[in-house]
Amino acid sequence: MKKIAIGSDHAGYSLKQALITYLKSMSYEVVDFGTNSEDRADYPDYAHPVAEAIERKEFEFAVLICGSANGISMTANKHQGVRCAICWKPEIATLARAHNDANIISFPARFITLEDAISGLNEFLNTKFEGGRHTGRVDKISC
């Protein structure tokens, strides 16, 4: 069974729950790092554990969600080996994987439809890294 990590703050909670349902219907084992309600929550409290799990290679891919996707992505990208990409259109998710070898997709819950999130997630999970000329660039990302 394929395994994926997911986390959000309060602004992303509703979208996270919908994506969990979708991922489970696609036979993914989903590990939810929280939050567990729409009560105010700080995005770093969920981004750090998800990013640490990617660092430890417990998961190949993860999903993070907050209102704008900015704060949660900035937090995740502090971790070595994490390449978290903000995606609001499926085409951006495709390029994040194909050109940047992103391993976390981040959605702006306040600015994306569920349909675009699902399409983007499918593109993200089904697109392979192209390598080639992109490999050297990706290798320069980590400090």
Catalytic amino acids? 66, 99
Which region holds residue 119: left if phi is over 0, alpha if psi is between -120 and 50, else beta?
A: alpha
69, 60 Cβ separation under 8 angstroms: no
* Bond from prior residue into 113 cis (ω within 30 degrees of 0): no
Token pair listed for 122: 């499918």
